[in-house]
Amino acid sequence: MKEELTKIFPEFDLIKDEELREKSINVWIEAIEKGGWKVSDLERIPFTLLIPDCPVNIIDHTRSVTKVAIEAAKQLVQFNGGAYELDMDMIVSGGLLHDVGKIVEYADCDDGIKKSPMGKLLRHPFSGAGLAMRHDLPDKVVHMIAVHAKEGDSGYRCPEAVIVHHADFMNFEPIKMG
């Protein structure tokens, strides 16, 4: 399963820290297994259930958020005058994992992909953060997953989390409007 995942998410190879890369991949593996999916199913899982007949799957959304976050971080580092530093490994891992909880939040039902029983109780920022904690990912990555959506609007977001949050909504809002 690892080879399949790194093929559809080549951005895993951008994580320089081997241990972080392996743990990040293992979170996806557990989510897929726990959700009762196969890697090949990811192509037909919409990245959101909030948009009827969503044209973007979880793979493309995850890759786009990750790439937008990476490019934004590069520009910010170049032009921020040293105001803060950014950890690119955290940004890549956080981007790749920000919606991993959707794999257990959603279920493949007879009438299409719907909320799973667990998904009715816990939104993906919570389940994704829980999965990341089970695999001993750094607190910053867990934080990024937990606060990337509306659940993080009233609290602190580290700089990397701010970037992933905005990259996510830059991908979501135009599709929602279209």
Determine the Cα–Cα distance for residues 43 and 84; give it in Å rounded to an integer: 37
Percent of the chain predicted with pLDDT > 90: 93
- pLDDT score for 178: 76
Provide the pLDDT for residue 157. 97
Confidence (pTM): 0.96
Give every CB contact of residue 109 below 8 A, 6+ residues apart in sequence. none
Q: What tens digit of pLDDT does each residue of 56-78 get?
A: 999 999 999 999 999 999 999 99
Residues 6 or more apart from 128 whose CB is under 8 A from it? 27, 31, 97, 98, 99, 100, 101, 102, 145, 146
Fold type of domain 2-43+57-177 = Hypothetical protein af1432 (1.10.3210)
Q: Where are the beta strands (DSSP E) in the chain?
A: 106-109, 112-115
Q: Per residue in 22-37, is it b (16+ CB within 10 Å) or e — as a string?
A: ebbbbbbbbbbeebeb
Assess contact for 67 and 11: CB atoms under 8 A: yes
103-113: string of b/e by CB count within 10 Å (b at 16+)? bbbbbeeeeeb
Domain boundaries, the chain: 2-43+57-177
pLDDT at 82: 81
Residues 21-69 pLDDT 10s: 999 999 999 999 999 999 999 999 999 999 999 999 999 999 999 999 9
**Hey, what amino acid is at 17?**
D
33 phi/psi in degrees, rounded to 5:
-65, -45
